[in-house]
Each structure stands twice: as structure tokens, then as C-alpha cells.
Amino acid sequence: MNPLSPSTVPAHVAIIMDGNGRWANARGLPRAMGHRKGVEAVREAVKTASECGVSYLTLFAFSSENWSRPESEVSDLMGLLKTFIRRDLAVLHKQNVRIRIIGDRQNLSGDILPLLLEAEETTRNNTGITLVIAFNYGSRDEMARAMRLLAAEVAAGRLDPSAITPERIGASLDTAGIPDPDLVIRTSGEERLSNFLLWQAAYAELMFVPEFWPDFSRETFIAALSRYAMRERRFGGLQPAATLAVGS
């Protein structure tokens, strides 16, 4: 059941799932356990977002900078993502969830790319919530890849530089066709965007919550959506009362 008023629910919520390692450290557990618990929080977040009427949920699963972590941790994270897709794909498909992957697909080794493609392909006609998984994703890398594509079009004489508008750039990013996030949440108390959706989050509301990602429960998520409902978004304009004052 949706506990929120549908008109105030953000269409697109993006989450930086931070704090798995600290959650584990605080319990004297290996970091891998934090990531494992993090996958449970992922399942709950998808369910909650869907029930609350969120249309797009983007999760930052693995950044292009995460490769610099110790090999064993990278391998843990890859394993968890693969297991998640293998185990949960059928369930997500049944729940009418559509999966989109953003991030650089070049040079991915092993069986990860076929699994990501299978997840997208299997769910492509689903009409429920879209789960966008940011994998091997970095915003600057995404923008550089888009710029290279546009530059190649210009060089080939198929695109006039004057046609490079914000809309055209947006349509060249991995998130083409996905509306910009209305709300970006980061867990664990850290207050930065860490190269996540920098272009797309231009007007997003930012919310930093203290919970480590494995503790990000249905209640925490709903509390964040309720706080979002109180925010006033102006997109560079004036608040309605000020508009009235100026106009009158």
C-alpha cells in the first residue's frame, strides 16, 4: 500500500548506497558481509519504491573508480551483482520491473556483460518501475563518451555544432530516455555526489541520511520520501508567492 500522497512522490529517485563497509566494521564483520546485507537492502528498496509509486529507481552499484579497491573486494561485489541478477531476475520480471543498466560496457570481463544484457532484454517490455543499475559508472566518463560520439558525428559532417543543445547532450548519455532524478539520496552521512549523475542531477533535491546502506529500511525510505514532499522545487525560478508579488 502507498502511504504517501501520489502527487508528491518523486518520479525518479537515485541512491548512492554508501556505508556497507562501515556497517560491517561496526559489527566486527568482514566488509563482504556489509555488501551482502546491502543486497538485501537493494531488494527492499526496489519493493518500497515500486509500492510508493516511484517510476524510476537508480542505484549506484559499482563506480568506474571502484576498480581501485582490493581485488578480493572487487570480486565480492561482482559476485554479488551476478548472483543478484541470476537469482532475482525472474522475480523482478514477474513483478513487472524493467531493468536498465548505465555505465561503460566496454572491456567488461567474463560473464558480467551477458548477464546485464540478459536482464535488460528479458525485462524490456515491462511496464512497472524501472530499476536503473549504475555499473562501472562514472559521470565524467559517461559525459566524455557522449562528447566523443557527438564529436564523431560533427567530424563526419552529420551534425552541426549549433545542434549540440542540452537536450542533444542528454540524449547522448547512458540515461537517454530516462527522466532526470528528482531526488538523490546518499546514505551513511557522507555529503557528496562522488561522480554520480552530475549532469542529470542539475535540479535534483539532495538528501543525506545517516543510516549505513544495509540499514536503509522501508521506513527510512518512506521517511526520506516524506521529507522530499515538503521540499519546494523552483528549477531556477521564483517561489510562487514571490512570483505573485513580482507580477502584482
Interface residues with ligand FPP (CB under 6 A) are 17-22, 35, 38-39, 42, 59, 61, 66, 77, 80-81, 84, 133, 213
- Shorter beta-carbon distance to ligand FPP: residue 30 or 170: 30
The nearest distance, CB 106 to ligand FPP, in angstroms, is 20
The nearest distance, CB 129 to ligand FPP, in angstroms, is 14
Q: How is residue 182 written as a grid cell?
A: 528528482
Other CB atoms within a 10 A radius of the CB of residue 156 amount to 8
Give me the DSSP letters along 188-218. Answer: TT----TTSSTTTTTT-EEEE-SS-GGG--H
Residues 94-107: b if buried by 16+ CB within 10 A, e if exposed: ebebbbbbbbbeee
> Listing from the earlier edge strand, what are the strands of the sheet with 98-102?
98-102, 130-137, 56-63, 12-16, 183-186, 205-208
The nearest distance, CB 59 to ligand FPP, in angstroms, is 5
153 labeled part of a ligand binding site: no
193 labeled part of a ligand binding site: yes
The nearest distance, CB 10 to ligand FPP, in angstroms, is 19
Q: Judge whether 215 counts as a catalytic residue.
A: no
- Shorter beta-carbon distance to ligand FPP: residue 25 or 126: 25
134, 196 contact by CB (below 8 A): yes
18 labeled part of a ligand binding site: yes
Residue 175 amino acid letter = T
Q: Which of 25, 66, 126, 195 is catalytic?
A: 66
148 labeled part of a ligand binding site: no
- Shorter beta-carbon distance to ligand FPP: residue 88 or 142: 88
Q: Judge whether 195 counts as a catalytic residue.
A: no
- Shorter beta-carbon distance to ligand FPP: residue 131 or 204: 131
173, 142 contact by CB (below 8 A): yes
Task: Tell me if residue 23 falls in helix, strand or coil.
Answer: helix
Q: Which of 18, 76, 88, 182 is catalytic?
A: 18
- How far is the C-alpha of 238 from the C-alpha of 248, rounded, in Å? 14
List active site positions: 18, 66
The annotated binding site for substrate is made up of 19-23, 31, 35, 63-65, 67, 69, 186, 192-194
The annotated binding site for Mg(2+) is made up of 18, 205
